[in-house]
């Protein structure tokens, strides 16, 4: 286990380093941040001053080395736009995105697993066909459009839910959370559902496919022959066996949700990391873009690790040392 | 006496209106709170850190400059109740007496001197306000409420420029950092609102400064929310979550106008949308070819007849009516009618495709040529659709046009490197007078003079430069205006740029509210009031 973890950490460091170089070069190629940031009124001297102030007068390789040197000391640079440490900006926004992503993932499991199980056990029932048809919609409707429709129906027409924003928050552990206040939850419902639609469909389909496959397995037939109750067969024997693909996909999806919930966050004006990164890209705030992608890389590495560990808990045949 | 009678009647009207339910709760006198949603994020509360319209709007709620500008962008007194040019290079500003910062500290001339000293020295500023203080060579404190500012050369725009510089308090802000402002502790000004909380990129909350020296704003509490998505902002207004929104998308204007619950406020702005042309090259221009796709030996855009033909081929009315859905007025010069330096006898060019063809033939291109028109697709309202429309119009006049729209970040870098032949871009003349676009857009590119910094086509005309320079040394307003008009006429008769239209700025709000719609696009809470209370004043 320890060897496995160490090796994994080493790999992670390599990935982060390669990523930092790629991101730095990519961001450098997009355009000149001074053109975007500076007031159009500024004259040539003022432009030159801004270029120097932001450290953009150095050649790219020196900019990269400066960045790398600071990064090793835990400083991912200061935002050009906010003049605050990029990492702190990102971490400030993280709770908002985290609670949204967790809400969406929980919704996906709570709604998707039972529906998928039902559709797998009774594949020919009309309701199962309805569920499967619905899941196609969940896959194919663009989140952007669904989000606006949710707002139009539940906020504008019915007036049940607030249209945008984060609502009231409480501070716990130095971070602001919405899910602990009624107003915050009301603000969270629509974005979380919008974010989870795709995932619900995914979980339904994975679960259904898994159940249908497992039901034909010998161990299920044997359990049935042994006279076990259908409930026990489903919940203990089948369910446990279909969880591996579901955990893998949900885990990866969770990372994707945190990293790229850009559309939902901007439609609902949800002040999370996704909105920060899209705003930063629009003004070429390089330090924030680079720091954000670094954080995301670290996060994916961690999630993959957690998924691997979960495997070994779910399936005793998986040995972590063997994998490394 | 008459005033109090009117006030009483106004109050009665207001009471009646709220009884009749015609006003939303926010418009009533009881709940004096306002929620606004703005389309562009505020990036900093440090008024000297990042020059950007949303930042300026918020800065003007919390702070004041020596001067200010009214809704039509004319200079009005701010913390200075008056100013005079003592001689060619000396300005005397007289400060208002009894003005206090939010923390009770009194405003004195020393605070102003401190401010001018801080402005150029804000660390890491990506866009400094120092361009406005740079002409000042020396600040002389005459007494607690009188200052003399000496400039190196005559600088008629000093009162205009100083509207951008927010005055800070020496005692409070001596060691203030940008982070300190963003955290709220340093956001202490003399303005009509004091800041309560700031959540970066999400919302800012204000409460009224009851000791404000000027007109007291109507709202006790203001929530200033940032909702960058256009559709979401409109939806928030329709859902009643916010009472005022800015940057109403042109496609929603008709729908919102027809909604009984809402009111729209529109004003002709100061932002000109125009086409820049490649003046830098006399030989082949990168995106101009003959009809077979081979490079031309010379750059046709250097010929004024070709530029005039390109301008005449454009039907500006069609663009403002159909593409912009009425949210712009056709333009033939930098500024809208009535601005300082506007030229009365410089009309909007009429669409004359035949005349355009004749001019092209005269210039030696009877068969026209091919050109690529570039533009952004995420910067100005309908930007990509405008260049498509122009592409069709040019093609009809015999210039086969390809259109290429790209994101602003990549587009503006290419335009700034003179990589393009013809491109759509905009310019907001924030000072509301003609020297600003003249100096920045069409004066020859000159680092030392600071001219032509946004002259991306590198138009160069020594005659125009001379007139502009003379104007910039002329303190007399009437004489300066005549010079600016002369320079403007030179620029447009030579078609240095092709003006298209001037955008209108639009706000939408709950019925029962009114806003002083500002030409400079700023959205400030002090400009919003109940419509009925407005009649009282």
Give the helix ranges, DSSP H, for A216-319: 218-226, 230-232, 239-260, 262-267, 273-282, 286-314
Number of C-beta neighbours around residue B335 at 10 A: 25
On whether any CB of chain B is under 8 Å from the CB of A26, the answer is no
Q: Tell whether the torsion through CA atoms of B190, B194, B197 and B199 is positive or negative.
A: negative
Separation between Cα atoms, residue A139 and residue A253, nearest integer Å: 14
Q: Which candidate from B126, B410, B440 shows the least CB-CB separation from A80?
A: B126
Tens-place pLDDT, residues B57-96: 999 999 999 999 999 889 999 999 999 999 999 999 999 9
List the alpha helices (DSSP H) in A122-227: 126-140, 143-150, 182-215, 218-226
Give the pTM. Answer: 0.84
Nearest to A83 among B128, B179, B233 (CB): B179
Neighbours of A5 (CB within 10 A): 13
Q: How many CA atoms lie within 13 A of A149 on its CB side?
A: 8
In three-state secondary structure terms, B281 is: coil
User: Residue B172 — pLDDT band, cuts 50, 70, 90?
Assistant: very high
Torsion of CA B487, B492, B494, B499, to 10 degrees: 140
Taking chain B, what is the end-to-end CA distance rounded to the nearest angstrom? 14
Separation CA B209–CA B188 (nearest Å)? 11
Give residue-wise pLDDT tens across range B374-405: 999 988 999 999 999 999 999 999 999 999 99
Cα–Cα dist B353/B392, whole Å: 12
B114 Cβ contact list (under 8 Å, min separation 6): B168, B169, B170, B173, B174
Q: Which two tokens stand for residue A175?
A: 């971070």
Q: In terms of Cα–Cα distance, which of A185, A154, A192, A193 is closest to A168?
A: A185
List chain A residues with CB under 8 Å of B413: 31-32, 35
SS3 A320: helix
Cα separation of A196 and A138, whole Å? 9
Q: Measure the CA–CA gap between A124 and A126, rounded to whole angstroms.
A: 6
Residues in chain B: 537
Of all residues in chain A, the one with the smallest CA distance to B127 is: A38
Q: How far is Cα B24 from Cα B261, in angstroms, rounded to an integer? A: 9
Looking at the DSSP bridge assignments, the partners of residue A170 are A177
Place of tokens 């405008």: B386
> Which of B199, B202, B377, B420 to mutate: most A Cβ within 10 Å?
B202
CA atoms within 13 A on the CB side of B509: 29
How far is residue A308's CA from residue A7's CA, in Å, rounded to a whole number?
14
pLDDT at B535: 44
The helix/strand/coil state of B102 is coil
Res. B441 pLDDT band, cuts 50 70 90: very high
Token pair 């530029």 is at which residue?
Answer: B307
Q: Note the pLDDT of residue A320.
A: 61
The predicted structure's pLDDT at residue A321:
56
Q: State the number of CA atoms in the 13 A half-sphere of A288 facing the CB.
A: 26
In this prediction, residue B318 carries a pLDDT of 95
Domains along the sequence of chain A with CATH: 86-212+239-323 (1.10.3720.10)
- For residues A296 and A23, what is the distance between their CA atoms, to the nearest angstrom? 12
Interface of A with B in 142-201 (CB under 8 A): 148, 151-152, 155-156, 159, 162-166
Pairing of strands B513-515, B528-530: antiparallel
Has residue B28 got a pLDDT over 70? Answer: no
| Contact at CB, A163 and B427, closer than 8 angstroms | no
Give the separation between CA A140 and CA A119, rounded to whole angstroms: 20
- The pLDDT of residue B504: 93
Nearest to B100 by CA among B198, B194, B205: B194
Does position B9 have pLDDT exceeding 70, yes or no? no
Chain A closest-CA separation from residue B124 CA (Å): 5
- Taking the C-alpha atoms of residue B112 and residue B116, their distance in angstroms, rounded to an integer, is 6
Residue B3's pLDDT band (cuts 50, 70, 90):
very low
* Contact criterion met (CB < 8 Å) for A159 and B126: no
Which chain A residue shows the shortest CA-CA distance from B51?
A39
Q: Report which of A13, A32, A127 is spatially closest to residue B415, judged by C-alpha positions.
A: A32
Residue in chain A closest to B225 (alpha carbons) equals A165
Q: What is the nearest CA distance from A125 to chain B, expressed in angstroms?
A: 40
Does residue B278 contact residue B418 with C-beta atoms inside 8 Å? yes
Q: For chain A, what's the residue count? A: 324
Contact B232 A267 (CB under 8 A): yes
User: Tens place of pLDDT for every residue, chain A, 324 residues?
Assistant: 678 778 877 887 888 888 888 888 888 777 778 888 888 888 888 888 888 888 888 888 888 888 888 888 888 888 888 888 888 888 888 888 888 999 999 999 999 998 998 888 888 889 988 999 888 888 888 888 888 889 888 988 888 888 888 877 777 777 778 787 888 888 888 999 998 998 999 999 999 988 888 888 888 888 888 888 888 888 777 888 888 888 888 888 888 888 768 888 888 888 888 888 888 888 888 889 888 888 888 888 887 778 777 777 777 776 665 444
CA distances to B70, B214, B215, B220, B528 from B193, rounded to whole Å, are 18, 11, 12, 9, 13
CA distances (Å), origin B123, targets A54, A219, B49, B129, B456: 10, 70, 8, 12, 29
| pLDDT band (50, 70, 90) for residue B31 | low
Q: Which of B236, B413, B447 is opposite residue A35, by nearest beta carbon?
A: B413
CA pair distance A313, B142, nearest whole angstrom: 80
Please tell me the distance from the alpha carbon of residue B354 to that of residue B309, in angstroms, as a whole number.
Answer: 9
């Amino acid at each position: 286990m320890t060897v496995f973890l160490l090796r994994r950490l080493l790999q992670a460091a390599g990935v982060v380093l390669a990523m930092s170089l790629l991101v730095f070069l990519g961001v450098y190629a997009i355009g000149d941040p001074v053109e975007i940031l500076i007031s159009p009124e500024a004259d040539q001297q003022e432009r030159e001053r801004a270029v120097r102030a932001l450290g953009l007068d150095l050649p790219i390789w020196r900019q990269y080395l400066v960045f790398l040197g600071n990064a090793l000391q835990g400083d991912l640079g200061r935002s050009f736009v906010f003049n605050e440490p990029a990492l702190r900006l990102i971490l400030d926004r993280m709770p908002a995105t985290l609670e949204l992503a967790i809400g969406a993932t929980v919704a996906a499991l709570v709604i998707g697993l039972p529906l998928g199980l039902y559709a797998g056990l009774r594949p020919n029932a009309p309701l199962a066909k309805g569920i499967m048809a619905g899941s196609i919609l969940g896959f194919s409707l663009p989140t952007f459009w669904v989000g606006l429709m949710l707002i139009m129906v539940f906020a504008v027409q019915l007036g049940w839910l607030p249209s945008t924003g984060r609502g009231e928050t409480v501070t716990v552990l130095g971070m602001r959370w919405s899910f602990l206040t009624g107003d915050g939850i009301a603000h969270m419902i629509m974005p979380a559902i919008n974010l989870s639609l795709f995932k619900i469909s995914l979980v339904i389909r994975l679960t259904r496919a898994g159940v249908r496959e497992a039901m034909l397995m010998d161990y299920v037939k044997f359990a049935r022959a042994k006279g076990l109750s259908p409930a026990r067969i489903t919940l203990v024997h089948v369910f446990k066996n279909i969880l591996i693909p579901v955990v893998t996909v949900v885990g990866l999806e969770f990372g994707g949700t945190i990293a790229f919930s850009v559309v939902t966050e901007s439609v609902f004006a949800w002040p999370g990391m996704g909105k920060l990164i899209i705003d930063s890209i629009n003004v070429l705030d390089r330090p924030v873009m680079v720091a954000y992608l670094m954080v995301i890389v670290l996060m994916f590495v961690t999630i993959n690790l957690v998924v691997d560990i979960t495997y070994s808990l779910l399936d005793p045949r998986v040995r972590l040392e063997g994998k490394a | 006496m008459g005033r109090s009678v009117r006030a009483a009647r106004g109050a009665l009207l207001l009471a009646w209106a709220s009884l009749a339910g015609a006003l939303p709760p926010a418009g009533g006198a009881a709940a004096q709170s306002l929620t606004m949603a703005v389309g562009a994020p505020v990036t900093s509360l440090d008024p000297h850190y990042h020059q950007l319209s949303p930042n300026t709007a918020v800065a003007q709620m919390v702070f004041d400059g020596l001067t200010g500008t009214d809704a039509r962008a004319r200079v009005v007194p701010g913390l200075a109740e008056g100013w005079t040019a003592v001689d060619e290079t000396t300005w005397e500003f007289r400060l208002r007496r009894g003005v206090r910062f939010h923390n009770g500290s009194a405003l004195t001339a020393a605070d102003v001197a401190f401010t001018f000293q801080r402005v150029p020295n804000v660390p890491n500023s990506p866009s400094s306000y120092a361009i406005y203080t740079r002409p000042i060579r020396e600040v002389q404190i005459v007494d607690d409420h009188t200052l003399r500012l000496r400039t190196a050369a005559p600088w008629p725009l000093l009162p205009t420029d100083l509207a951008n510089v927010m005055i800070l308090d020496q005692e409070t802000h001596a060691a203030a950092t940008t982070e300190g402002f963003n955290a709220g502790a340093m956001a202490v000004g003399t303005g009509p609102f004091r800041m309560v909380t700031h959540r970066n990129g999400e919302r800012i909350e204000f409460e009224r400064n009851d000791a404000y020296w000027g007109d007291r704003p109507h709202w006790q509490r203001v929530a200033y929310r940032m909702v960058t998505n256009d559709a979401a902002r409109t939806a928030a207004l329709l859902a009643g979550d916010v009472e005022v929104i800015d940057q109403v998308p042109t496609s929603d204007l008709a729908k919102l106008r027809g909604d009984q619950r809402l009111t729209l406020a529109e004003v002709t702005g100061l932002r000109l949308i125009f086409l820049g042309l490649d003046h830098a090259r006399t030989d082949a221009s990168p995106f101009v070819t003959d009809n077979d796709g081979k490079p031309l030996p010379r750059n046709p855009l250097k010929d004024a007849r070709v530029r005039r033909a390109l301008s005449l081929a454009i039907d500006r009315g069609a663009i403002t009516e159909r593409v912009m859905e009425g949210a712009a007025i056709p333009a033939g010069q930098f500024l809208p009618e009535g601005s300082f330096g506007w030229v009365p006898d410089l009309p909007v060019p009429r669409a004359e495709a035949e005349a355009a063809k004749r001019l092209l033939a005269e210039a030696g291109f009877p068969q026209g040529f091919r050109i690529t028109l570039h533009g952004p697709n995420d910067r100005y309202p309908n930007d990509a659709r405008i260049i498509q429309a122009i592409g069709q119009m040019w093609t009809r006049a015999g210039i086969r046009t390809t259109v290429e729209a790209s994101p602003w970040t990549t587009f503006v870098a290419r335009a700034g490197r003179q990589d393009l032949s013809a491109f759509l871009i905009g310019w907001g003349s924030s000072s509301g007078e003609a020297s600003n676009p003249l100096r920045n857009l069409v004066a020859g590119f000159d680092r030392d003079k600071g001219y032509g910094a946004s002259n991306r086509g590198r138009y160069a005309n020594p005659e125009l430069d001379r007139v502009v320079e003379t104007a910039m040394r002329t303190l007399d307003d009437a004489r300066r205006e005549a010079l600016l008009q002369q320079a403007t006429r030179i620029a447009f008769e030579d078609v240095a740029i092709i003006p298209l239209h001037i955008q209108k700025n639009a706000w939408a709000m709950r019925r029962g509210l009114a806003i002083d719609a500002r030409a400079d696009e700023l959205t400030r809470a002090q400009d919003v009031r109940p419509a009925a209370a407005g009649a009282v004043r």
